Chains A and B, each alone.
Chain A
Amino acid sequence: MRDLKPLLSYLKVYRKKLYLGFLFILLSITCQSIYPMIIGSAIDDISKNDFRYSLLSYISMGLGLVIIGGIFLFFTRQTIIVVSREIENDLRNKFFSTLQFLPKSFFDKFSTGDIMARANNDINNVRNLLGPGIMYSVQTFFRTVIIFSILVSIDFKITVIALIPLLFITLFVYKVMKVTYKRSLLVQEAFSNMSTKAQENFSGIRVVKSYVREKFEINEFTKIAGDYQKKSLSLARIQSYSFPMMFLFTGLSIILVIYFGGLGVINNTFSIGNIAEFVVYLNQLTWPMIALGWVTNLVQRAIPSMKRLTDIMEWKSDTLNCDGLNKTNIDIEGNIEFKNVFFKYPDTDNYVLKDINLFIPKGSSLGIIGFTGSGKTTLINLITRLYEVSEGEILLDGKNIKDFSRYELRKAIGMVPQESFLFSDTIGNNIAYSSESIDEDLLIKSSAIAGLQKDIEDFPEKFFTKIGERGITLSGGQKQRTSLARAVYKNPKILILDDSLSSVDTVTEKEILKNLSEFMKNRTTIIVSHRTATIMDCDKIIVIDDGKIVEQGTHNELCEQKGIYYRLYMKQIIEQELKEI
């Protein structure tokens, strides 16, 4: 229960509306409770043929009560359920905004699927508790109190007798729900086993087919599907109990009233109209009794869900606070210096960067080359503070980057990541991502630098063309160039290209590099690549191998050294030759 405590602060915001909702519940239940009395007296009058009021006034009273009660019921839902939706909204906003400021290491740890499950299922579980959960508990409380006192006022003994079977319903629903929940978890597990098996077989279909294992794998799947069927049936067995049992207990309750009430009528302590009233009231009590068992279950489900949400919403986003987000831009010149920088990923032992010392003067360009996994991307992610250095320091204009706010730092850097991630929005909005409004001249200029203007002219709606799922699909090269245009549009002091022209053909690449060299005057450029052609014109080139800088110099210097760089260069010349054969 302690895990639900954070919810109190959310509820507090809407407390006025909630109290109002409780009032509506009380009123609607009062109406509903008086209604059977009217029916009861009407029938009594009919059976005695002695009318205190005319039938018509009984009926209009009855219907009037139902209408008024209905109106209150309407407002009950309009307050309590609406509040639960509002809190759901607040929770989801909080959840999402927390995510936005979490460090990259968090996203390395939690899969997208896991986060999505929390945003959907867990928030839903909590909302069910807040909406229907609160509504039904309060309804049950009021209704039980009112009906109980009415029934007692009619006849205490028969009330007790009639209520015994109903108490069993609550107990029973609680038990059944508990078992149901456990078994449905088993069913879910069996279902996911089935999906996993299918997923595995379909992904590994080449192996399955090469080794002629189709029949065997179909058999295996059938076994798992059989297990799923078995688990589902075991769930069905317990679920099949629910309705007949409730039916049995309510039925018993009514039969008991008829019998003991009948005896009472014979003894003149009870009237036939009383029997009718009891029947109606007991029917009214059945649903709240069922609901009570149901609500207990909602609580059980909401507790772990709320915990899973709190786990993320209270994640220590240590260095990643948003304090600096609103500070104005300060002048950054773009001198970058690495001083004895070491880095290892959180929760690992091996350093992926070792003793990096490097100076990149403002306005110059640096090329970084190395094999896959050598540490190139990591080095770049340290400059943007997607990750924090483990040891040593990185200086920007002589000041430790940790002393800049993230806003200042990242405003100054234009980054073109390795995987060119674009949003499913228009191409124009993607390029102008960094600003709130679109500067058309800048848009055209940036796409020209990125060699994208011709592509855009070919798009059906130019810059307004939607890309992604519901729009056109871009080629790998187009994506990379859009991603580059986006960074250029930002007009950054420092531009970083992380192997981001790999899908662009060599001719276009050359053209883009030429455009860039014009644009990058007075800006610091860092280009990571696995192609020597991309970086050979840089002012300085470093070769990274196994987390260390192993060679550095200009293209000519490195060629003379006849090391890794030279061999990579030669290879790429041959590759080019092969293409032309």
Chain B
Amino acid sequence: MEKKKYKKIQEEDVLGKQIDYLLLKRLLSFAKPYIFSISVATFLTILISVLSAVRPRLTPIAIDDKIANNDIPGLQIIIIILIGTLFIQAGVQYLNAYLTSWIGQKIVFDLRKKLYSHVMNLNLKYFDNTPIGRIVTRVTNDIDVLYEVFSSGLVAVFGDIFTIIWILYFMFTLDVSLALVTMSVLPLLIYATSVFRKKARDSYRKIRVLVAKMNSFIQEHITGISVVQLFVKEKDTIKDFEKINRAHTEQNKRGIRYYAIFFPVVEFIGALSIALVIWYGGGQVVQRSISVGVLISFIQYIEMFFRPIRDLAEKYNILQTAMASSERIFELLDKKSDIVDSKSPVIIKEFKGNIEFKNVSFAYNENEYVLRNVSFKINEGERVAFVGATGAGKSTIINLLCRFYDVIDGEITIDGINIKKIRQEDLRRNIAVVLQDVFLFSGDIRYNINLGENTISDNKILEAISSIGLDKFINSLPDNISHRIYERGTTLSTGQKQLISFARALAFDPKILVLDEATSSVDTETELLIQKAILKLISGRTSIIIAHRLSTIQSCDKIIVIHKGQIRETGTHQELLEKEGLYYRLYQLQYKSVI
């Protein structure tokens, strides 16, 4: 087992390296709709680098021509031009910064929308087999990581390159030899930066690992706090924690050292460059081959020149981080749904409600069959109860009928049509499923009943509520059906939640009703309400019920007993009781009240 897992990781790594380019290309394809905005932003970036090179160019003119020649009006003109370019440059910088964020946000939004629609249309198998937290991370954090690629990454790279080119151009036009002197420290800077980045990245990685270790230690010991306390291990645990915490701190201190060295080194390289310029340029000034103004503007250029070079290295890092996220995102986008609509579906808007299972077999995992050769027929308007011990296969029948999963053998028909031929949308629109654990959304009661379906009016909702017998409760709420329910309805009782889910099914008025009765006990008053509501719910439609209540069973036309994935007995309540077989025992177990 272990070795297999290890191999898989290795394979992924190798694959990752190979497809990097393709991945980037695919990622960039999402920028296509914004090609115009990106061009504008790129233009603005170039404009900025042009403008930023202008000012140092004007400085020597101010100093050498105007100040040295006591030309005050000339100086004033230059100053006005300087202020003008400064303001224009600031304005353009602002526009550009905002525009690039806008582009990034737009692309990320598109990508997120696309991914979310894709995920929501995946079949249930995916959701059953993937931790919810992981899917949430894909559509939230992973996508957010890409924002930087499109905002500060894409356009800024162009900008940095242009800035470098422009400054080079200005430097070389001012004085070729001084420009070459300035650039002579460049290899040193690049070397220092790359060494630092590598060290910093390694150290950062190690810190991340230690942080993760520390967090899982804290998490584990909060979750298991009772065990710690019951075994009187508080002090030992603290000692262990202190060790991990110490390792984390020491690694951080190592990281501090890298920074503590890097910053002075960069400063030194800058100073070195200035020193070289003064040394060489000073001689030139003395020999009258260049002016003092040129010397001063070179000192200004040096700072402007180094910044974009350091930035470019930064951008490379951003891209690297984004790769991992985009790989995960595209992997999910490429996941295909196993259950797809037929290419030439039979369009039926409304079912009559005749259901038939013909020799249906099914397994969630290969060769572990949960249903074997199951056949039954339910006629329009009939009410059928499924009875069986836990794990007998009752819920699987619901999953198959709604086509959350596809049968492995046999077929399921509704009104004589194989459900694979019916569009999933039509199929599910005609079937309302009421599940055992009621799922409520955060939102008001109205939303929890009509699920945002506008065609279900307030009147219809109120009608459903009163048929279910929930009106008394709803009327007692301050905002009636506009009353907000928080986080899965924690403020409601189990019974109330169930009744709301009944009202939901009733409001949708389906041809076929599937009810998985909840086993949890409620008080007598609510129990009576629920019993009445169920009768209301199943009247006049084909109903399939996984029953736990005697009253429900007795109101059914037929009972099907499932045991270990097979149908074992069929008949009415009385018939089956008289048989004294499986049903008789199940009846004693599940329906005869204990107290």
Interface residues of A (CB under 8 A from B): 35, 39, 42-43, 46-47, 49, 55-56, 58-59, 62-63, 66-67, 69-71, 73-78, 81-82, 85-86, 88-89, 92-93, 96-97, 99-102, 104, 107, 112, 115-116, 119-120, 191, 194-196, 198-214, 216-218, 220-222, 225-226, 229, 232-233, 236-237, 239-241, 243-245, 247-248, 251-252, 255, 258-259, 262-263, 265-266, 272, 275-276, 279-280, 283, 322, 325, 384, 386, 406-407, 410-411, 413, 415, 417, 421, 423-424, 433-434, 436, 460, 469, 472, 486, 490, 545, 564, 567-568, 570-571, 574-575, 577-578, 581
- Scan residues 403-444 of chain B and give those whose CB is less than 8 A from a CB of chain A: 404, 424-425, 428-429, 431-433, 435, 439, 441-442
Interface locus among B105-113, B170-178, B196-204, B360-368:
B105-113
Please measure, in the bound complex, the distance between the C-alpha atom of A200 and the C-alpha atom of B441, giving whole angstroms.
Answer: 7
Of the residues B120, B241, B268, contact of A201 by C-beta under 8 Å: B120
Q: A211-B428, A240-B97, A413-B230 are in contact. List 18 more A-B contacts (CB 8 A).
A: A43-B278, A56-B279, A77-B256, A78-B257, A99-B225, A100-B228, A198-B116, A202-B119, A206-B433, A211-B432, A217-B452, A218-B116, A255-B79, A276-B296, A424-B220, A571-B594, A574-B585, A581-B582
Q: Which residue of A lies closest to B584 (CB)?
A: A574
Of the residues A93, A211, A247, contact of B245 by C-beta under 8 Å: A93
Q: Can you spell out 21 A-B residue pairs with CB atoms less than 8 angstroms apart?
A: A43-B282, A49-B285, A70-B268, A81-B259, A89-B248, A93-B245, A96-B221, A102-B225, A200-B488, A208-B120, A210-B433, A225-B109, A229-B106, A236-B97, A236-B105, A247-B86, A272-B68, A564-B594, A564-B595, A571-B588, A574-B589
Which chain B positions have C-beta within 8 A of A252?
Answer: 83, 86
Of the residues A119, A211, A567, contact of B218 by C-beta under 8 Å: A119
B231 engages A410 (CB within 8 Å)? yes
B594 engages A567 (CB within 8 Å)? yes
Please measure, in the bound complex, the distance between the C-alpha atom of A100 and the C-alpha atom of B121, giving whole angstroms.
Answer: 45
A248 engages B62 (CB within 8 Å)? no
Which chain A positions have C-beta within 8 A of B442?
Answer: 196, 200
Q: Is B274 an interface position by the 8 A CB rule?
A: yes
Of the residues B151, B252, B285, contact of A46 by C-beta under 8 Å: B285
Which chain A positions have C-beta within 8 A of B2?
Answer: 460
Which chain B positions have C-beta within 8 A of A218?
Answer: 113, 116-117, 120
Which chain B positions have C-beta within 8 A of A66?
Answer: 267-268, 271
Q: A225-B109, A237-B98, A252-B86 are in contact. Are A212 and B271 (CB under 8 A)?
A: no
Q: A56-B279, A198-B135, A272-B292 are in contact. Are A247 and B98 (CB under 8 A)?
A: no
Please measure, in the bound complex, the distance between the C-alpha atom of A217 and the C-alpha atom of B252, giving whole angstroms.
Answer: 44
Of the residues A76, A213, A237, A578, contact of B453 by C-beta under 8 Å: A213
Which chain B positions have C-beta within 8 A of A433?
Answer: 227, 231, 233
Please measure, in the bound complex, the distance between the C-alpha atom of A89 and the C-alpha atom of B214, giving whole angstroms.
Answer: 12
**Shortest Cβ gap from A143 to chain B (Å):** 14
Of the residues B108, B225, B439, B595, contact of A204 by C-beta under 8 Å: B439
Which chain B positions have C-beta within 8 A of A421?
Answer: 223-224, 226-227
- Scan residues 467-512 of chain B and give those whose CB is less than 8 A from a CB of chain A: 488, 504, 508
**Shortest Cβ gap from B516 to chain A (Å):** 10
Please measure, in the bound complex, the distance between the C-alpha atom of A187 and the C-alpha atom of B504, giving whole angstroms.
Answer: 34
Interface locus among B25-33, B87-95, B378-386:
B87-95
B223 engages A112 (CB within 8 Å)? yes
Q: Is B249 an interface position by the 8 A CB rule?
A: yes
Q: How many residues of B contact A (CB 8 A)?
A: 134
Which chain B positions have C-beta within 8 A of A96?
Answer: 218, 221, 238, 241, 245
Please measure, in the bound complex, the distance between the C-alpha atom of A140 and the C-alpha atom of B175, giving whole angstroms.
Answer: 37
Q: A85-B256, A210-B433, A262-B63 are in contact. Are A104 and B226 (CB under 8 A)?
A: yes
Q: Is B193 an interface position by the 8 A CB rule?
A: no
Please measure, in the bound complex, the distance between the C-alpha atom of A210 and the C-alpha atom of B453, giving whole angstroms.
Answer: 13
Q: A203-B132, A210-B431, A279-B300 are in contact. Are A226 and B109 (CB under 8 A)?
A: yes
Of the residues B63, B252, B261, B488, contact of A85 by C-beta under 8 Å: B252
B105 engages A229 (CB within 8 Å)? yes
Of the residues B218, B224, B272, contact of A63 by C-beta under 8 Å: B272
Q: A283-B303, A490-B231 are in contact. Are A255 and B86 (CB under 8 A)?
A: yes
Please measure, in the bound complex, the distance between the C-alpha atom of A276 and the C-alpha atom of B292, giving whole angstroms.
Answer: 10
Please measure, in the bound complex, the distance between the C-alpha atom of A460 and the C-alpha atom of B263, giving whole angstroms.
Answer: 50
Q: Which residue of B lies closest to A213 (CB)?
A: B451
**Shortest Cβ gap from B155 to chain A (Å):** 13
B93 engages A77 (CB within 8 Å)? no
Which chain A positions have C-beta within 8 A of B70?
Answer: 266
**Shortest Cβ gap from B402 to chain A (Å):** 6
Q: A216-B453, A218-B120, A574-B588 are in contact. Are A236 and B98 (CB under 8 A)?
A: yes
Q: Is B165 an interface position by the 8 A CB rule?
A: no
**Shortest Cβ gap from B505 to chain A (Å):** 9
Q: Which residue of A lies closest to B96 (CB)?
A: A240
A104 engages B586 (CB within 8 Å)? no
Tell me the interface secondary structure of chain B in the complex.
helix
Please measure, in the bound complex, the distance between the C-alpha atom of A325 and the C-alpha atom of B238, giving whole angstroms.
Answer: 13
A245 engages B278 (CB within 8 Å)? no
Please measure, in the bound complex, the distance between the C-alpha atom of A166 and the C-alpha atom of B279, giving whole angstroms.
Answer: 32
Which chain B positions have C-beta within 8 A of A325?
Answer: 232, 234-235
B435 engages A73 (CB within 8 Å)? no
Which chain B positions have C-beta within 8 A of A469?
Answer: 216
Which chain A positions have C-beta within 8 A of B234?
Answer: 97, 100-101, 322, 325
- Scan residues 72-92 of chain B and give those whose CB is less than 8 A from a CB of chain A: 72, 75-76, 79, 82-83, 86-87, 89-91
B295 engages A43 (CB within 8 Å)? yes
Please measure, in the bound complex, the distance between the C-alpha atom of A361 and the C-alpha atom of B167, giving whole angstroms.
Answer: 91
B425 engages A203 (CB within 8 Å)? no
8 smallest CB-CB distances across A and B, nearest first, come from A70-B264, A236-B101, A240-B97, A77-B260, A244-B93, A244-B90, A66-B271, A204-B439
Q: Mark B2-16, 1 if CB is under 8 A from A, else 0.
A: 100000000000000
Which chain B positions have C-beta within 8 A of A423?
Answer: 220, 224
Of the residues A55, A100, A237, contact of B221 by C-beta under 8 Å: A100
Of the residues B105, B253, B389, contact of A82 by C-beta under 8 Å: B253
**Shortest Cβ gap from A462 to chain B (Å):** 15
Q: Which residue of A lies closest to B101 (CB)?
A: A236
Of the residues A206, A262, A279, contact of B124 by C-beta under 8 Å: A206
Of the residues B140, B271, B504, contact of A191 by C-beta under 8 Å: B140
Q: Which residue of A lies closest to B225 (CB)?
A: A107
Which chain B positions have C-beta within 8 A of A97?
Answer: 234, 238, 241
**Shortest Cβ gap from B82 to chain A (Å):** 5
B594 engages A198 (CB within 8 Å)? no
**Shortest Cβ gap from A580 to chain B (Å):** 11
**Shortest Cβ gap from A499 to chain B (Å):** 15
Of the residues B93, B124, B219, B453, contact of A209 by C-beta under 8 Å: B124
Of the residues B89, B256, B299, contact of A78 by C-beta under 8 Å: B256
Q: Which residue of A lies closest to B144 (CB)?
A: A191
Q: A92-B245, A213-B452, A229-B105 are in contact. Are A198 and B139 (CB under 8 A)?
A: yes
A232 engages B232 (CB within 8 Å)? no
- Scan residues 261-300 of chain B and give those whose CB is less than 8 A from a CB of chain A: 261, 263-265, 267-268, 271-272, 274-275, 278-279, 281-283, 285-286, 292, 295-296, 299-300
Q: Which residue of A lies closest to B265 (CB)?
A: A70
Please measure, in the bound complex, the distance between the C-alpha atom of A81 and the C-alpha atom of B93, giving whole angstroms.
Answer: 33
Q: Is B180 an interface position by the 8 A CB rule?
A: no
A85 engages B241 (CB within 8 Å)? no
Which chain A positions have C-beta within 8 A of B466?
Answer: none
Which chain B positions have C-beta within 8 A of A59?
Answer: 275, 278-279
Q: Is B236 an interface position by the 8 A CB rule?
A: yes
A262 engages B75 (CB within 8 Å)? yes
Q: Which residue of A lies closest to B428 (CB)?
A: A212
Q: Is B549 an interface position by the 8 A CB rule?
A: no
Please measure, in the bound complex, the distance between the C-alpha atom of A417 and the C-alpha atom of B223, giving whole angstroms.
Answer: 13
**Shortest Cβ gap from B233 to chain A (Å):** 7
Which chain B positions have C-beta within 8 A of A112?
Answer: 219, 222-223
**Shortest Cβ gap from B568 to chain A (Å):** 9
**Shortest Cβ gap from A272 to chain B (Å):** 6
